[in-house]
Amino acid sequence: MAFAITQTCCNDATCVSVCPVNCIHPTPEERAFGSTELLHIDPRACIDCGACADACPVDAVLPVDRLTGGQREYARINAAYFEQTGTPARSGPNLHAWGAPSFDRVLPPDFGPLRVAIVGTGPAGMYAARDLLLHTRAEVTFVDRLPVAGGLVRYGVAPDHPATKKVGETFARFLTHPRARTYLGLDVGADVTAAELAAHHDAVIYAVGAGTDRRLGVPGEDRPGSVPATTFVAWYNAHPEVAPDAVDLSCERVVVVGNGNVALDVARMLVTDPKTLAGTGIAGHALAELRRSKVREVVLLGRRGPEDAAYTRPEVLALKHLPGVDLLIDDHDPRIGAAVDASGAGDKAAVLRGVAREAVDWSLPPGAAGRRRRIVFRFRSSPVAVCGGEETRAVRVTGGTAEPEIPAGLVLRAIGHRGVAQAGLPFDETTGTVPHERGRVAGRPGTYVVGWIKRGPSGGIGANRACAAETVGSLLADAVAGALPAPAGGPRAFRRLVRRRRR
């Protein structure tokens, strides 16, 4: 009986490197790795050794015969990947092709330990730290402006995804590594300057993510009751900068603009039975509000059709198996149903096969009968305005013959994150990133970026592993080449500086 990779796959490919028969694909060397939603195990070749399950940081790998409920679909999804791509079955020893030997990341033996500051303790910063702490003698200074470490793993992952949150435990052990020192609640730019941080380290890596949300640019966007999905996510994760009363769930319908995985996360949280959320890491104030919630329907507004939706299929599969929740596709445009009907097995639209379709009459009260709740996918539709007076009452949208108004008391915009300019660093306003070359910040020797502030807000947790490897590779190459500016002070001086600033 083979193993299968399931919904929580983080794509960091740790499993690939431990599989003795090379049957997990796509590998980081294969072109499909950059766009795959999850990795797959070839059931024809798996020898059932369990090495991948032991190595997986998010418990995504399970024996096929132990899959339950909605997980069972992943046996078929794993096998179908190999049928559709024609990836041949592997057996025997792991035959990864080795490239020519490369020594550019090896520091000479007489090289003293590098002192590297990492700003941000989310996945990107922690993958960089792991690389430095496990593969070099570097000393790492972690700096995070928040009082709790973890970045998006702590404050961005939904509490009903405990397996994904578990990767945080893997990262957290590096915070207490003997060669690491951690400063929480220290804001670079406010408490210490970027120049001061640089002056006490050989190099600084910024892993600050994309700290704000993209705006809709429509009238009424800032009306009370129209908030970024990032605020909602931070609210239920007890982010210290979001007030406990930041979200009011006294309305019956919520419109979520966007249909990426964040949009699906917030929709799922809004309709999940609060009983199943108790005991997760959800904030107490959020659980109390969800228990009082009057929300019966969540509308997911997507600009494109189901064939090009931004979500990944595992997140929709999770919605399909949510107890007490109906899914509906608003059939306001004939191209939507046609795309679902014409979809092949591996196509994105195919995940919506079997979901009910009807042209929703928005003048009627929110749907779904009795105690059931409903999620409505409205594709090929964009917001034109958030309407209301002192509070949000509706969203006017495109699509269909007119511009209908969808009554809603809460609008969450989930159309993506955006990087924020960092004091002392260059910034590209168009992309919301710091200009760099393989992680090196342009015009700032000894300064590097990793994660979303480097490549823009795309890719999940695992995508940061390769991103961090590239940045750390650049840093080490610069160290060997003597291109890092000499620091004026050491760790003790930095400690004293921080103590002074915190008085």
Q: Which residues bind ligand SF4 (CB under 6 A)?
A: 3, 18-19, 21, 23-24, 41, 46-52
Q: Whose Cβ is closer to ligand SF4: residue 24's or residue 133's?
A: 24
| Token code pair at residue 146 | 């928040």
Nearest to 333 by CA among 386, 398, 394: 398
Q: Whose Cβ is closer to ligand SF4: residue 24's or residue 229's?
A: 24
The minimum distance between CB 462 and ligand SF4, in angstroms, equals: 17
Question: What's the CA gap between 20 and 314, in Å, rounded?
Answer: 27
Q: Whose Cβ is closer to ligand SF4: residue 56's or residue 290's?
A: 56
- On whether the CB atoms of residues 380 and 399 are closer than 8 A, the answer is yes
Nearest to 425 by CA among 128, 194, 149: 194
The minimum distance between CB 116 and ligand SF4, in angstroms, equals: 33
Q: Name the strand (E) or helix (H) holding 421.
A: none
Question: What's the CA gap between 59 and 9, in Å, rounded?
Answer: 8
The minimum distance between CB 55 and ligand SF4, in angstroms, equals: 8
Q: Whose Cβ is closer to ligand SF4: residue 44's or residue 72's?
A: 44
C-alpha pair distances (Å), 455 with each of 258, 416, 434, 470:
21, 14, 8, 12
The minimum distance between CB 14 and ligand SF4, in angstroms, equals: 11
Question: What's the CA gap between 249 and 296, in Å, rounded?
Answer: 10
The minimum distance between CB 15 and ligand SF4, in angstroms, equals: 6
Helix, strand or coil for residue 419? coil
Q: Whose Cβ is closer to ligand SF4: residue 50's or residue 365's?
A: 50
The minimum distance between CB 182 and ligand SF4, in angstroms, equals: 34
Nearest to 281 by CA among 445, 412, 160: 160
- On whether the CB atoms of residues 153 and 239 are closer than 8 A, the answer is no
Nearest to 10 by CA among 207, 220, 261: 261
Question: What's the CA gap between 448 and 428, in Å, rounded?
Answer: 15
- On whether the CB atoms of residues 24 and 16 are closer than 8 A, the answer is yes
HSE (side-chain half, CA atoms, 13 Å) at 52: 30
Q: Whose Cβ is closer to ligand SF4: residue 50's or residue 445's?
A: 50
Q: Whose Cβ is closer to ligand SF4: residue 49's or residue 243's?
A: 49
The minimum distance between CB 5 and ligand SF4, in angstroms, equals: 8
Q: Whose Cβ is closer to ligand SF4: residue 52's or residue 412's?
A: 52
The minimum distance between CB 42 and ligand SF4, in angstroms, equals: 8
